Amino acid sequence: MDKSEEVENFLKAYNDKKDLYVFVYMTGCPYCEPIHPIWEQLEKDMKKENVKLAKLEKDNASQVKEIGIIDSYPTFLFIDEKHNKSKEEPERDYEGLKKWVHSPRKHKKHSKGGSKKKKSKRKTRKTRKSRKSRK
């Protein structure tokens, strides 16, 4: 894949306003190289499930302001539909990356219901004193 094509694919996925999983790598990095074939297989498999994945080489990532500063490689980012970013550390094998992509963490913002804490109506001493002084 050509470098400009990599940036184009990332920006297209980023602008879709859907959850996006990003693999940022450095050419020649001994930790990144074994992940490439795994990521490519994951991209094919997740395309069927309509999950957005992208990868960026370090030089391309530095040109894309939406990524921010990357200080280690490989780096895995989760970017939600509101463009909130989090750097994450999934397992680096196929099953670990697939589990990361299917993590329930990404669905928490979509959950409905649940219990909300009610605010206590209990008055504090400070509140009681200030009310007495007003009288």
Given this model, what pLDDT does residue 39 score? 96
- Phi, psi (rounded to 5 degrees) for 69: -90, 130
Residues 51-79: what's their mean pLDDT? 92
pLDDT over threshold 60, residue 119: no
Structure tokens at 88: 């994450």
* CATH architecture entry for 3-108: 3-Layer(aba) Sandwich (3.40)
Taking the whole predicted model, whether its pTM rises above 0.75 is answered as no
- Label residue 4 by pLDDT band (50, 70, 90): confident
- Alpha-carbon distance of 16 to 5, in angstroms, equals 17
Residue 97: exposure state from Cβ atoms within 10 A (0-12, 13-18, ≥19): buried
Going from N- to C-terminal start, the domains of the chain cover 3-108
Structure tokens at 42: 């994951």
Mean of the per-residue pLDDT values for the chain? Answer: 82
pLDDT tens digits, one per residue of 17-55: 889 999 999 999 999 999 999 999 999 999 888 889 999
Distances (CA, A) of 73 to 28, 51, 89, 105: 11, 23, 11, 23
